[in-house]
Amino acid sequence: MASWQTVWITGGGSGIGLEVARQLAKSGTNVVISGRNPDKLQQACDEVKSGGITGSIQSLPCDVTNLDSVKAAWLVLLETQGIPDLVLLNAGDHQPVSLDNFDPAIFEHLMKVNFHGVVNCLASVIPAFCQRGHGHIGVVASVAGYQGLPTASAYGATKAALINAAEALYPELKLKGVDLSLINPGFVRTPLTDRNTFEMPFLIDPEPAAERIILGLQKKQFEIAFPTRFVILLKLLKALPYWLYFKLTRQLIPKS
Ligand SMILES: NC(=O)c1ccc[n+]([C@@H]2O[C@H](COP(=O)([O-])OP(=O)(O)OC[C@H]3O[C@@H](n4cnc5c(N)ncnc54)[C@H](OP(=O)(O)O)[C@@H]3O)[C@@H](O)[C@H]2O)c1
């Protein structure tokens, strides 16, 4: 099982990222968390420390949509911690889209955060990891990226792009000694899903989600997807012919 001395987590100030940070810091890892809001990050660090940790947790503010901001944060990380062993590219956002709020600005925003945000970080991480000859990258996508589902035309597309990019990069990185894991969670109770007004199937808390992510990363799994029953259901759905697929997904259109 792999263990890490230093881990960088983007979107580490809340939700899934914060819970992974908490569990790692508790078990002796030096964790650095990034997000846009310095106060929120500091608060998250204080809260994690107050729970008792044997590692450390520090905040490193950065906006993943801004390449200069990411480059500057990466340099600070190198100066203070050295090249991390693991980076978890987890920062993300979600907004539902249906026909009555079909706005290109939502697509642009979500693509900027969820996809280009990861790409901006990879542009710093990949050269350093490849030059060193080892390192582990975790990319947080979503089961929403498996196939098109009602209200997720923007969010799902950003996550599908991430899945595709991760599949494309994996073999080349592996040749350089660098591991890549693709994390596809189902519904997890976080500030992001607290906004949802519909009943979320197979909803889980951040604690088991973080445990599952850490275990999968330790085992160096390529895909870390959970909860299992939901993942199987969605993968079966994807295998259906479109006429049957749309018959079923039609049921998910919100009643207006
Ligand atoms: N919760 C779920 O059910 C679920 C399911 C599948 C996948 N996911 C994915 O899991 C990841 C974490 O989501 P979560 O549910 O834990 O939501 P969350 O609590 O809202 O966390 C998202 C984090 O991303 C940060 N962030 C947003 N925009 C950013 C930017 N431009 N630069 C840097 N940081 C930014 C936010 O911090 P600031 O606002 O302070 O920047 C926030 O801490 C996301 O990629 C999400 O798509 C979540």
Cα dihedral sign, 25-213-200-95: positive
Predicted confidence at residue 74, as pLDDT, reads 98
If one residue of 139, 190, 203, 212 were mutated to test the ligand 1 pocket, choosing by the most ligand atoms within 8 A of its CB, it would be 190
Predicted confidence at residue 195, as pLDDT, reads 86
Q: Which atom of ligand 1 is nearest to the CA of 16?
A: 16
Predicted confidence at residue 188, as pLDDT, reads 98
Predicted confidence at residue 197, as pLDDT, reads 83
Distance (Å) from CA 93 to ligand 1 centroid: 5
Q: Which domains does the chain have, with CATH numbers?
A: 6-252 (3.40.50.720)
**Below-70 pLDDT ranges, the chain:** 1-2
CA distance 16 to 90: 8
Portion of the chain with pLDDT greater than 70, in percent: 99
Predicted confidence at residue 2, as pLDDT, reads 63
Q: Which atom of ligand 1 is nearest to the CA of 141?
A: 7
What is the distance, to the nearest Å, from the Cα of residue 98 to the centroid of all Cα atoms in its chain? 24
Distance (Å) from CA 89 to ligand 1 centroid: 10
Residue ranges lining ligand 1, Cβ < 6 Å: 10-11, 13-17, 35-37, 40, 63-65, 90-94, 113, 117, 140, 142, 185, 187-188, 190-193
Predicted confidence at residue 1, as pLDDT, reads 64
CA distances from 77 to 34, 84, 85, 234, 256 (A): 11, 8, 12, 38, 48
pTM above 0.85, yes or no: yes
Predicted confidence at residue 241, as pLDDT, reads 98
Predicted confidence at residue 214, as pLDDT, reads 98
Q: Which atom of ligand 1 is nearest to the CA of 17?
A: 16
